[in-house]
């Protein structure tokens, strides 16, 4: 995470876990809420992390309830866990904003801009039915 913040990364997408989960914006260990439909500014807010791994093999279960567009389950924190060399370690996290446990994929639309103007990434989580389960924007000044 420190390297992503150091280089002002706009968005981190990974897919190891077989599910869809999106964080709020995180910077310096601090969490800033990024609601569904919200906008993050990496230069000031930090980085958004998305696990978009729900397109293939069997899906993993969450230790927290699903919460996605049209089916929000607001929670200040949720139970989670980390796998370590010593085994599974339970933890409580405040950054888990969207959780969807069915097949889905991630769509990212890029709006480029000339230097000094606003450029955006419009990010949408899409269920296999075609229904949108999440959307947010990442905006920054083009360099």
Rounded mean pLDDT, 126-132: 95
Mean pLDDT of the chain: 89
**Global pTM value:** 0.88
- Provide the H-helix boundaries in the chain: 2-6
Using a 10 angstrom Cβ sphere, with 0-12 exposed, 13-18 middle and 19 or more buried, the burial of residue 26 is buried
Position of tokens 């405040």?
94
Using an 8 Å Cβ cutoff, are 63 and 78 in contact? yes
Cβ atoms of residues 93 and 77 within 8 Å: yes
Beta bridge partners of 140: 119
Q: Identify any residues that bridge with 135 across adjacent strands, giving them in sequence order.
A: 124
pLDDT tens track for 83-98: 789 988 888 888 889 9
What's the pLDDT at 62? 66
Cα–Cα distance list, 24 to 29, 50, 123 (Å): 12, 10, 13
């Amino acid at each position: 995470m420190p390297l992503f913040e150091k280089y002002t990364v706009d968005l981190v997408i990974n897919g190891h876990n077989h599910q869809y989960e999106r964080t709020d914006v995180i910077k310096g260990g601090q969490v800033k809420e990024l609601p569904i439909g919200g906008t993050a500014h990496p230069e000031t807010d930090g980085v958004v992390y998305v696990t978009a791994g729900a397109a293939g093999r069997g899906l993993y279960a969450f230790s927290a309830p699903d919460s996605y567009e049209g089916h929000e389950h607001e929670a200040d924190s949720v139970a989670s866990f980390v796998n370590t060399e010593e085994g599974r370690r339970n933890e409580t996290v405040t950054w888990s904003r969207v959780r969807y446990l069915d097949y889905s994929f991630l769509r990212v639309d890029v709006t480029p801009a000339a230097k000094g103007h606003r450029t955006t990434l419009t990010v949408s989580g899409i269920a296999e039915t075609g229904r949108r389960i999440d959307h947010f924007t990442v905006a920054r000044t083009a360099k």
